[in-house]
Amino acid sequence: MLQNFGGNSGFFGTVESINSGPFKALHFPNSTLVGIGMTPEGIEQNPVTYELMSELAWRKEPVNLSKWASLYAVRRYGSTQENLTAAWRLLFASVYNCTVPHYRNHNHSPLVHRPSFHMNTAIWYDPADLYKAWKLIIEAAPSLMSKETFRYDLVDVTRQVLQVLTTVFYQDIADAFQNQKLPELLTAGGVLVYDLLPELNRLLSSDRNFLLGTFLERARSLALDEKEAQLYDMNARNQLTLWGPSGEILDYASKEWEALWRTTTPSDGAFLFKPW
């Protein structure tokens, strides 16, 4: 399973394919399958997909995905709250179940790409399902904030919601610009820049797993001396949004981390996003 290209932030999964693929291979005529594996190009996101794939190595047949999602919520949080099991069933049936043929699992959000009026912002699921799951998780929050796994998922689901809302405002901005509707353009742009993006940054700063500094510290910690630490730091910073030492592929390792961008608002109202 190659789940993610470049360690992109953003929810993605093909749980139906993950659930069936190993067993189709196992029962293929003259199959020589002896195990399953994962390609770790970028693995620190979407933990549920790796949990499912890893478990299937010990299974003799596909699992019931709805039941598995419910049990996953219980195992992950140690809670049997129906809000949580319902939320994960919703996520499994929507954002984690991409069935679009040949869909390239790379984050298409305007949030992590260079500005353009020609972005492909299509998604494979109904955002309403994501919003419902988010509401259910929020309702379960008061009794579970001491759980690290719950706090991580709460931030991650909220981040996904804000990612989708960013796309909505981007589309409003593009439509207003194309139709020369200045009031609508200023409204959509103002909400995006002054409200939504600062809230996203505050959200990401609430969990060390979404901090740019955590990533850089880990890179430096592997070095044996300061010269090597500087090399690892440079390579880590280079990999954040580019791919390759000279930016051979732009917007490839798209991350949504606190402090990865800085927003400036000059007196003329223009705004600019820059790597930290």
Q: Which of 27-36, 124-133, 258-267 has the highest mean pLDDT?
A: 124-133
Tens digits of residue pLDDT in 189-243: 999 989 999 999 999 999 999 999 999 999 999 999 999 999 999 888 888 877 7
Q: How confident is the model at residue 106 (pLDDT cuts 50, 70, 90)?
A: confident
Round the average pLDDT of the chain to a whole number and report it.
89
- Sequence length of the chain is 276
Lowest mean pLDDT among 16-20, 29-33, 71-75: 29-33
pTM for the predicted model, two decimal places: 0.90
Cβ-contact 57, 26 below 8 angstroms: no
**For residues 241-246, average pLDDT:** 75
Task: Give the mean pLDDT of 231-260.
Answer: 83
Compute the C-alpha angle 120/123/126, nearest 5°. 150
* pLDDT for the residue 239: 82
List Cα–Cα distances, 187 to 4, 14, 194, in angstroms: 35, 37, 10
Is the pLDDT at 68 greater than 60, yes or no?
Answer: yes
pLDDT at 249 over 90: no
> Hey, what are 216's tokens?
């850089």
Nearest to 107 by CA among 130, 123, 90: 123
Is residue 271 pLDDT above 80, yes or no? no
Of residues 125, 63, 119, 121, the one with CA closest to residue 100: 125
Tokens of 147: 């759980």
* Cβ-proximal residues to 115 (8 Å cutoff; 6+ apart), any chain: none
| Position 178 pLDDT exceeds 90 | yes
3-state SS class at 208: helix
Alpha-carbon span 235 to 16, nearest angstrom:
36
Residue 265 has pLDDT above 70, yes or no: no
Q: Are strands 272-275 and 261-264 parallel, antiparallel or unpaired?
A: antiparallel
E strands, the chain, where?
261-264, 272-275
pLDDT at 276 over 60: no
CA gap 68, 176 in Å, rounded: 44
Given the structure tokens 């399953």, which residue do they identify?
Answer: 36
Q: Which residue has the higher pLDDT, 64 or 101?
A: 64
**Which of 18-27, 98-107, 121-130 is the least confident region?**
98-107
Contact 87, 133 (CB under 8 A): yes
pLDDT at residue 274, as a whole number: 38
Contact 216/77 with Cβ under 8 angstroms? no
Percent of the chain with pLDDT over 70: 94
Which domains, from first to last, does the chain contain?
Answer: 15-214+254-275 (1.20.120.670)
DSSP 30: T
* CB 162 within 8 Å of CB 127: no
- Residue 261 confidence (pLDDT): 58
Range 127-156 average pLDDT: 97
Percent of the chain with pLDDT over 90: 68
Give the model's confidence band at 78: pLDDT under 50 very low, under 70 low, under 90 confident, else very high: very high
